[in-house]
């Protein structure tokens, strides 16, 4: 069988991606304090829309403005009651959808609730108000004292969600998906990764409930399955519903449980599954043993998912920087779609290079150095500072795209 990045991919709902290269979700940090689509956010997607991407995945759209993941995420501000009652709201989001899709690229909105991972002072919850989670387990950023202290400062202690809380958040996910459909987007992706609320329910480390939402992999999946079923009832049949999982959120001890949950998601009629958390590019000698182990698990996670569910449309995101790396994943039959994040912030038209057969394989790449850390950050745990530096740096490049400025790759 011949595999090509230029091949179209048709999802079960009927939506077609014109090629296999998808811009992955990243924090744009452009929605301002109003948490609405802004001209800057619209413009950056207008630029990406001209880049020959097979699909565009937006950054987080939070389903509740009181619980957001970063200070400038767009969010739903209240109950959505339909087009007729919310004409201005729909028109605002429709401008965003048009910017994404006016050049022929379908756009999928990543919708999310951070649960216990909502920072103090973000959204309209209040600085001292608690977060919500399936179980009242605080965020632990590490085992050292400084990591514990940073966690206490950054995140308030969560309270366990009541049935009323669960019903409210379920409705908020459904409302947000309905708004995106009414606004003209091609679909949504549920953020079930990176320790956000859906992942908190799926994961036994953060869900120790003993009711209908915990105690077994099937019960831990009830929250997201109810959301998917509810969304299906209010959106068109050709509206895409995907979900994102992160291999790093799981382990060998819970591997079979995770596969059980993926089976349930497929039975609920998801259109694609995105798996992130590793790399399919050639291994680099300087990688740490911890990084190598994590990426090995990512590869095994992806391969086993493919083996057990061969008809599932699978997207892999993590470390793709070259045509050869992307084509290798396709030839291995590890996935159908290639998710690319950080290169998109440096070159909004990166797919054109990958798809241009006149460019030799060894040149069809965009290698990125690590973002250098300022000297004063050395007193903080490297894994915390490193993640924040990378997110902030590439978010800054997204801002430059929105202003028509030249982007800058991290220096060597």
CA–CA separation, 56 and 107 (whole Å): 5
Query: Is 58 part of any domain?
Result: yes
pLDDT digits (tens, 9 = 90+) for 309-345: 999 999 999 889 999 999 988 998 889 999 999 999 9
pLDDT digits (tens, 9 = 90+) for 28-79: 999 999 999 999 999 999 999 999 999 999 999 999 999 999 889 999 999 9
Domain total for the chain?
1
Do the Cβ atoms of 165 and 115 come closer than 8 Å? no
Q: How many angstroms separate the Cα of 280 from the Cα of each of 3, 84, 379?
A: 16, 47, 32
Q: Give domain status of residue 3, yes or no.
A: no
Q: Which two tokens stand for residue 282?
A: 């050639």
Average pLDDT of 19-32?
Answer: 96
Other Cβ atoms closer than 10 A to 277? 22
Evaluate whether 156 touches 120 at the Cβ level (below 8 Å): yes
Q: Is residue 335 part of a domain?
A: yes
- Distance (Å, rounded) from C-alpha 130 to C-alpha 137? 12
Residue 93 lies in a domain: yes
**What is the residue range of 259's domain?**
9-126+162-402
Query: Is residue 4 situated within a structural domain?
Result: no
pLDDT on residue 244: 97
Question: Pairing relation of β-strands 55-62 and 21-23?
Answer: parallel
Q: Could you write out the DSSP letters of every residue in 306-342? A: HHH-TTS-EEEESS--BHHHHHHHHHTT--SEEEE-H
For the residues 101-123, what does the mean pLDDT come to?
93
pLDDT in tens, 355-394: 999 999 999 999 999 888 776 555 555 555 556 788 889 9
- Considering the domain boundaries, does residue 132 fall inside one? no
Residue 286 pLDDT > 70: no
Strand pairing partners for 338? 21, 316
Domain annotation covers residue 154: no
Split at pLDDT 50, 70, 90, the class of 287 is: low
Higher pLDDT, 247 or 97: 97
Query: The tokens of 204 are what?
Result: 């036994």
Residue 138 counted as domain residue: no
Task: Give mean pLDDT, residues 98-118.
Answer: 96
**CATH number of the domain where residue 106 is located:** 3.20.20.70
pTM for this predicted structure: 0.93
């Amino acid at each position: 069988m011949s595999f090509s990045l230029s091949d179209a991919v048709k999802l079960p709902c009927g939506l077609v991606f014109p090629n296999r290269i998808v811009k992955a979700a990243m924090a744009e940090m452009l929605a301002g304090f109003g948490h609405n689509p802004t001209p800057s956010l619209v413009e950056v997607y207008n630029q990406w829309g001209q880049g020959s991407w097979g699909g565009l995945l937006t950054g987080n759209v939070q389903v509740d403005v009181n619980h957001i993941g970063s200070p400038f995420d767009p969010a739903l501000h209240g109950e959505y009651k339909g087009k007729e009652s919310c004409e201005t709201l729909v028109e605002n989001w429709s401008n965003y959808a048009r910017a994404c899709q006016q050049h022929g690229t379908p756009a999928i909105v990543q919708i999310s609730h951070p649960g216990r991972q909502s920072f103090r002072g973000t959204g309209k919850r209040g600085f001292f108000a608690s977060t919500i989670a399936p179980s009242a387990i605080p965020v632990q950023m590490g085992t050292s004292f400084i990591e514990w202290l940073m966690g206490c400062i950054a995140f308030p202690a969560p309270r366990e969600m009541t049935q009323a809380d669960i019903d409210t958040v379920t409705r908020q996910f459904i409302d947000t998906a309905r708004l995106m459909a009414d606004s003209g987007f091609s679909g949504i992706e549920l953020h079930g990764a990176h320790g956000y609320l859906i992942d908190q329910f799926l994961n036994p480390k953060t869900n120790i409930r003993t009711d209908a939402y915990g105690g077994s992999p099937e019960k831990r999946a009830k929250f997201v399955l109810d959301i998917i079923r509810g969304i299906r009832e209010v959106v068109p049949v050709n509206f895409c519903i995907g979900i994102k999982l992160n291999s790093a959120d799981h382990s060998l001890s819970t591997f079979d449980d995770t596969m059980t949950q993926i089976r349930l998601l497929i039975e609920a009629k998801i259109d694609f599954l995105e798996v992130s958390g590793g790399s399919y590019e050639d291994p680099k000698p300087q990688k740490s043993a911890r990084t190598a182990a994590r990426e090995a698990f990512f590869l095994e996670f992806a391969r086993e998912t493919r083996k057990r569910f061969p008809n599932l449309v699978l997207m892999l995101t993590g470390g793709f920087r070259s045509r050869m790396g992307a084509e290798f994943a396709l030839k291995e039959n590890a996935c159908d779609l290639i998710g690319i994040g950080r290169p998109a912030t440096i070159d909004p038209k990166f797919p054109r290079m990958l798809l241009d057969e006149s460019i030799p394989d060894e040149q069809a790449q965009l290698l990125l150095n690590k973002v250098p850390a300022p000297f004063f950050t050395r007193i903080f745990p490297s894994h915390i500072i490193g993640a924040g530096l990378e997110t902030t740096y590439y978010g800054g490049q997204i801002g430059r795209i929105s202003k028509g400025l030249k982007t800058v790759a991290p220096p060597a």
